[in-house]
Amino acid sequence: MKYFASIAAVSAFALLTGCASQNVSQPTLPLGGEVKTGLKADVKVGETISGESSVNILFNVFKLGGDTQFADGVTYGGSEGGFALGLDPVASAKSAAAYKAVKASGADVIVAPRYEVNVQDYFVYKTVSVKVTGNKGTVTSIR
């Protein structure tokens, strides 16, 4: 009987003690940065260009497949936010589509890009497809 009482006491002690977390917030101000340069670029606008990309998401966490090369330096906001381990699959698909469009056409920038986003949601499996269209922009000079 003492054996069961000691097991019960140890179990009760283990259940009643545990980890506790504490969150102390401090009021903060938003940090806003701005970079200004005196540079101006002349861009020659050409023909229409396009690019496509898609990504598959399993359990709203794991990215399956998808592209490995992306356009950098631009924030691509998406309508689907914050899943896939903190990465936005819509933004990564937009970035990959923009990279493909620029790379295939030899452009420097996409002028007036338009994104078509298609999300197929099957509860545990999600497919995000993006197509970007715009005009080819070639930088002719920078002053």
- Specify the pLDDT at position 103: 92
Residues 6+ apart with CB under 8 A from 77: 88, 91
Any domain includes 10: no
Any domain includes 64: yes
Any domain includes 126: yes
Residue 3 DSSP class: H
Residues 6+ apart with CB under 8 A from 3: none
Euclidean distance between CA atoms 10 and 127, whole angstroms = 50
Any domain includes 2: no
How would residue 81 be classed by pLDDT, with cut points 50, 70 and 90? Answer: very low
How would residue 1 be classed by pLDDT, with cut points 50, 70 and 90? Answer: confident
Any domain includes 24: no
Look up the domain containing 137 and give its range: 41-142
Any domain includes 4: no
Euclidean distance between CA atoms 85 and 44, whole angstroms = 39
**pTM to 2 decimal places:** 0.66
Any domain includes 136: yes
- Specify the pLDDT at position 75: 62
pLDDT tens figures, 4-58: 888 888 877 776 666 655 555 555 666 677 778 888 888 899 999 999 999 998 8
More confident residue, 30 or 84: 30
Cα-flanking dihedrals φ and ψ of residue 61, to 5°?
-130, -50
How would residue 83 be classed by pLDDT, with cut points 50, 70 and 90? Answer: very low
Q: How many domains does the chain have?
A: 1
Kind plus residue range of the DSSP H or E element containing 139 = strand 125-142
